[in-house]
């Protein structure tokens, strides 16, 4: 079988649900597994993801054709692509992907497409599931409950959620656990990847002086998050890309 380029799309139709946090855990996850990865941040001009992972992140505007070309004309089998979609643009991005034939290519196994749909706290965010799912019959579709910075995250009840969840064929649920608030704040201030924070390293790899306790919290939390990625066999799913990286 031919090797396939792989793309992970991380998005939500609402802002403030910790979407970029999830992208950051993914970039760390693949870096730790030595999978070459590049990231696109669509939060122009600010770019939260770029702030944490400046070396591998490019800012793009997905409404612009040249920027779409920058991403989709340069997909390679040796490098995984992670795209952090700006709040509110998940459905329209998937629509564009359909229009350029990318979803069709995923259906034909020419590319691997995975979508991480970060769920928000309101029932409205459940409606998005039905909305986006129509595009994704042949992609890996992950519904992510992100508890990272809010204990009262899910106002809707489990029965309602299950009813929505069942509508989507092949969707897989992922839970991102809560991270200690001070630890969360300190990583934000440090503006470094989670792995650097845990290793007590600054943005340039210099040694830093982060709290041991807060580093411990982040390490423990990130371990749980990666445990979720292991559980869904994320690395296997993108296995071709990984196998190629190992061969190089």
Partner 1 sequence: MSGSTHVFIVCSPRAGVGKTLVARLIAEFYRASERSVVAFDLEPFEPALVEFLPELTTRVSLSETRGQMALFDQLIVNDGQTKVIDLGHLALESFFALAADLGFLAEAGTKGITALVMYVADETTIARNTYLALRDRFPDLGFVPVHNDAVARGLELRRHFPALASGLPPLHIPQLSAGLRAVIDKRPFSFIQAQHFPPDRLTPDQRDEMESLMKRVFRALRETEIGLLMKNLNSKLTDKAGQ
Interface of this chain with partner 1, residues 196 to 225, rule: CB under 8 A? 211-217, 219-220
Measured distance CA(28)–CA(219) in Å, rounded: 12
Cβ proximity of 145 and 22 under 8 Å: no
Instruction: Identify which of residues 54 and 227 has a Cβ nearer to partner 1 in the complex.
Output: 227
* Nearer Cβ to partner 1 (62/225): 225
Beta strands 57-59 and 37-41, pairing class: parallel
Nearer to partner 1 among residue 14 and residue 219 (C-beta): 219
Alpha carbon 222 to its chain's center: 14
Nearest approach, Cβ of residue 178 and partner 1 (Å): 13
Q: Which of residues 115-134 bind partner 1 (CB under 8 A)?
A: none
Interatomic CA distance for residues 237 and 135, integer angstroms: 19
Question: x/- binding map, residues 10-49, to partner 1, per CB under 8 A?
Answer: ----------------------------------------
Q: Whole-number minimum distance, CB 23 to partner 1, in Å?
A: 25
Residue span 156-195 as binding mask against partner 1, x where in contact by CB under 8 A, dash where not: ------------------------xxxx------------
| Minimum distance from residue 224 beta carbon to partner 1 (Å) | 10
| Residue 15 or 223 with smaller CB distance to partner 1 | 223
Contact in structure between 12 and 146 (CB atoms under 8 Å):
no
| Nearest approach, Cβ of residue 43 and partner 1 (Å) | 29
State the CB neighbour count (10 A cutoff) for residue 30.
23
Q: How far apart are CA 183 and CA 12, in angstroms?
A: 24
Beta strands in the chain (DSSP E): 6-11, 37-41, 57-59, 80-84, 112-119, 140-146, 172-176
Q: By C-beta, is 171 or 184 nearer to partner 1?
A: 184
40 or 221: CB nearest partner 1: 221
Min dist. Cβ of residue 173 to partner 1 (A): 25
Which of the residues 58 through 117 are near partner 1 (CB under 8 A)?
none
Cα separation, 113 vs 53, whole angstroms: 22
Q: How far apart are CA 110 and CA 2, in angstroms?
A: 8
Residue numbers of the site for partner 1 (CB under 8 A)?
A: 180-183, 211-217, 219-220
């Amino acid at each position: 079988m031919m090797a396939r380029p792989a793309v992970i799309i991380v998005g939500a139709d609402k802002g403030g649900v910790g979407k970029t946090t999830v992208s950051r855990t993914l970039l760390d996850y693949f870096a730790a597994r030595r999978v070459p990865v590049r990231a696109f941040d669509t939060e122009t001009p600010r770019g939260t993801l770029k702030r944490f992972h400046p070396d591998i992140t490019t800012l793009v505007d997905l409404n612009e054709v040249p920027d779409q070309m920058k991403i989709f004309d340069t997909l390679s089998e040796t490098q995984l692509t992670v795209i952090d979609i700006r709040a509110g643009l998940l459905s329209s991005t998937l629509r564009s992907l359909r229009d350029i034939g990318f979803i069709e290519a995923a259906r034909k196994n020419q590319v691997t497409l995975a979508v991480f749909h970060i769920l928000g706290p309101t029932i409205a965010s459940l409606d998005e599931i039905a909305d986006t799912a129509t595009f994704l019959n042949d992609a890996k579709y992950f519904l992510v409950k992100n508890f990272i910075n809010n204990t009262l995250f899910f106002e809707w009840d489990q029965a309602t959620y299950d009813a929505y969840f069942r509508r989507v064929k092949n969707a897989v649920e992922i839970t991102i656990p809560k991270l200690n608030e001070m630890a969360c704040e300190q990583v934000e201030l440090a503006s470094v990847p989670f792995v650097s924070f845990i290793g007590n390293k600054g943005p340039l790899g210099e040694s830093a002086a982060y709290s041991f306790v807060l580093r411990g919290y982040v390490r423990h939390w990130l371990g749980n998050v990666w445990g979720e990625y292991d559980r869904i066999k994320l690395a296997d799913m993108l296995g071709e890309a990984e196998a190629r990286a190992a061969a190089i």
